[in-house]
Amino acid sequence: MSAIQAASKRPVIAITPGEPAGIGPDLMALLDYDEGADWVCVADPDLLDDRARLRGRPRHWPRYAPGVHGPSVLPVALARRATPGVPDPANADYVLSCLRRATEGCLAGEFSALITGPVHKAVINEAGQAFTGHTEFLAHAAGVTEVVMMLAAGSLRVALVTTHLPLTMVPAAITAARLDAALDILDAALTRDFGLVRPAIMVLGLNPHAGEGGHLGHEEIDIITPAVKRAQARGIRAVGPVPADTAFVPARLAQADVVLAMYHDQGLPVLKAQGFGGGVNVTLGLPFPRVSVDHGTALDRAGTGPVDTGSMVAAMTLAKALSCRHARP
């Protein structure tokens, strides 16, 4: 926490709205901002003004400066004016510039947490910018080699060993080192940031029926089971590998604080089916809290369509709570 934040006792939280043609700017216009924190929208002020007018919610956005309370805007200019619902590759660098500025502020202690709105990965890559996702971008920017992506909806938490990879690349990416790091990061973050005492981590298998004793794959025998045993020897409450098709039944979930899935679409469909629109995405292992909405750019709703602010409100609530926990000496 910076000297200014420490003096005011208010977290200063950066928000990047994400894809300018998407729903992110609409959320900025429609939110009722919690007065217990200072919210800094790192974005083009004209974009926010345009979207607020379209939504019939014109609002005054003070320019960000240390000590300015309430919502404010830290200006980053668009390359071209955004049209709701029509992504423009010319604005890809704008999206990344907003992220860079917000990340730099978090690393410098200017901001106490980061909330990210949804981005359009394909548009960024079409513009010639290699981008696989927020998680990987922020880890690189922070100089961190290992982070863990975790989504939460109510009491259900699902973390991932691998994130945005083609399915054919997943088995090779599940290494002993990556599993060890994921289990350590999960245990530490759930203890410090979520207040859990010896959190229970249910580790899924990669293959159907967790490999069926080697008849449906050897990753469980060769890599996952040894990693679980090493974690147990380090005092971590890890169990598994558990077959993914029965891991999410209520009786099993009741015994776990988090499910560690091997790949993106192994665990997240269940979580999103249970809590889509009210869940959040958290990056564990960064030197600052990062929280995101659990939905995409919703291009068809930008500007005029129906908007559900539930996920962004949940992200803001969690970011503020994590800011306070990170600020503890």
Task: Specify binding-site residues.
Answer: 134-135, 164, 209, 264, 272, 281, 290
Radius of gyration, CA atoms only, the chain: 20
Classified as helix, coil or strand, 97 is helix
- In the annotated binding site for a divalent metal cation, the residues are 164, 209, 264
Q: Give me the phi and psi of 141, to 5 degrees please.
A: -65, -35
Residue type, 213: G
Residue 143 burial (CB < 10 Å; 0-12/13-18/19+)?
exposed
- For residues 110 and 92, the answer to whether their CB atoms sit within 8 Å is no
How many other C-beta atoms lie within 10 A of the C-beta of residue 106?
24
Strands annotated E in the chain: 12-16, 38-43, 72-75, 113-116, 148-153, 156-160, 200-204, 237-242, 258-261, 280-284, 290-293
SS (H, E, C) 256-298: CCEEEECCHHHHHHHHHHHHCCCCEEEEECCCCCEEEECCCCC
Q: Bin 209: left if φ > 0, else alpha if -120 < ψ < 50, else beta.
A: left
Residue ranges at the known binding site for substrate: 134-135, 272, 281, 290
